[in-house]
């Protein structure tokens, strides 16, 4: 099975009414808060949130930022809109595909990619689009589950990925594979949950494009 936009729309329509109470509140809220803290958003900055989902990240944004949240699922966005307005924050929600975001290049100071790179059918396309949207010197934070960078995928992980795909996520993706061919610097890479299955990664878009000589070694600059 492969993830598709059609399947994701279906499965996240089912997830939308129960996502916050059954998953986010008891499992990843603290990690989301820590991830956004690592991004260190400043007043006046504009932040892109591809795969904004039910908007659980929105109340965690500091006062004074402007945010655009994009999601493929109208049902998830409906849940996000219920969280608005949020005092001191200028937030726009838009239905769209995180793999082909309709935003101007270099128009955002920061990006938040929480549990989206493992969900969209083409995680590499989503990553490239987010980096395209960042201004030079802009930064992105990722909170997601990834396969270990070293070694082969285990049989157990491959087998467990079958039911994982059915509920709308892929646990076999490596972050370095998704980022291949992009010019980006890793500033921080730390375990978040489940012994490092989930990670928080802080990235910076360089002011000068260094492709194709970029060497992605995710823990060098921690």
- Residue 97's domain comprises 5-204
Share of the chain above pLDDT 90, in %: 79
Query: Quick check: helix, strand or coil at residue 113?
Result: strand
Closest among 138, 137, 143 to 51, alpha carbons compared: 143
Residue 219 above 80 pLDDT? no
Residue 209 located in a structural domain: no
Question: Which long-range CB contacts under 8 A does 4-7 form with residues at least 24 apart?
Answer: 4/121, 5/72, 5/97, 5/121, 7/168
- pLDDT bin (cut points 50, 70, 90) of residue 212 is very low
Higher pLDDT, 211 or 174: 174
Could you tell me if residue 199 is inside a domain? yes
CATH number of the domain residue 65 falls in: 3.40.50.150
Continuous H helices in the chain:
5-15, 19, 29-39, 74-81, 123-133, 155-166, 175-179
Number of H helices, E strands in the chain: 7, 7
> Is residue 214 in some structural domain?
no
- pLDDT at residue 210, as a whole number: 53
d(CA 92, CA 80): 10
Q: How far apart are CA 66 and CA 120, in angstroms?
A: 24
Q: Which pLDDT score is estimated for 209?
A: 58
> How high is the pLDDT of residue 194?
85
**Rg (the chain; Cα; Å):** 16
Per-residue pLDDT reduced to its tens digit, 13-50: 999 999 998 877 767 788 999 999 999 999 999 999 99
Q: Could you tell me if residue 106 is left (phi over 0), alpha (psi between -120 and 50 degrees) or otherwise beta?
A: left
Predicted pLDDT of residue 214: 39
Q: Classify residue 219: in a domain, yes or no.
A: no
Number of domains in the chain: 1
Whether 171 contacts 118, CB under 8 Å: yes
Mean pLDDT over 80-89 rounds to 97
The per-residue pLDDT for 22 is 82
58 to each of 5, 9, 19, 22, 208, how far by Cα in Å? 24, 21, 15, 18, 31
What mean pLDDT, rounded, does the chain reach? Answer: 90
When pLDDT is averaged across residues 100-117 and rounded to a whole number, the result is: 96
Which pLDDT band holds residue 9 (cuts at 50, 70, 90)?
very high
Tell me if 45 sits within 8 A of 65, measured CB to CB.
Answer: yes
User: 212 lies in a domain?
Assistant: no
Structure tokens given for 178: 């998704």
**Residue 29 resides in a domain:** yes
pLDDT of residue 221 exceeding 50, the answer is no
> What would the two tokens of residue 163 be?
């039911």
- What is the mean pLDDT of the segment spanning 70-80? 97
90 within domain boundaries: yes
Tokens 């128009």, located at residue: 107
Higher per-residue pLDDT: 92 or 214: 92
Q: Decide if 190 is inside a domain.
A: yes
Question: Would you say residue 147 has pLDDT above 70?
Answer: yes
């Amino acid at each position: 099975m492969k993830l598709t936009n059609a399947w994701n729309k279906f499965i996240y329509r089912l997830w939308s009414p129960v996502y916050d109470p059954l998953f986010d509140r008891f499992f990843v809220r603290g990690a989301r808060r820590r991830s956004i803290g690592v991004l260190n958003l400043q007043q006046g900055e504009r932040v892109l949130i591809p795969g904004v989902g039910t908007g659980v990240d929105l109340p965690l944004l500091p006062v004074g930022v402007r945010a655009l949240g994009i999601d493929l699922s109208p049902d998830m966005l409906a849940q996000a809109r219920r969280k608005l307005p949020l005092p001191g924050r200028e937030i726009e929600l838009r239905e769209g595909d995180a793999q082909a975001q309709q935003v101007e290049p270099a128009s955002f100071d920061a990006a938040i990619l929480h549990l989206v790179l493992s969900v969209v059918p083409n995680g590499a396309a989503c990553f490239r689009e987010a980096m395209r949207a960042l201004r030079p010197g802009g930064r992105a934070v990722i909170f997601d589950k990834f396969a270990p960078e070293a070694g082969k995928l285990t049989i157990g992980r491959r087998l467990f990925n079958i039911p994982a795909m059915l509920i709308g996520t892929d646990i076999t993706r490596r972050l370095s594979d998704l980022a291949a061919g992009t010019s980006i610097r890793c500033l921080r890479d730390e375990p978040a949950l489940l012994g490092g299955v989930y990670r928080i990664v802080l990235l910076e878009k360089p002011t000068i494009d260094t492709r194709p000589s970029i060497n992605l070694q995710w823990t060098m600059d921690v």
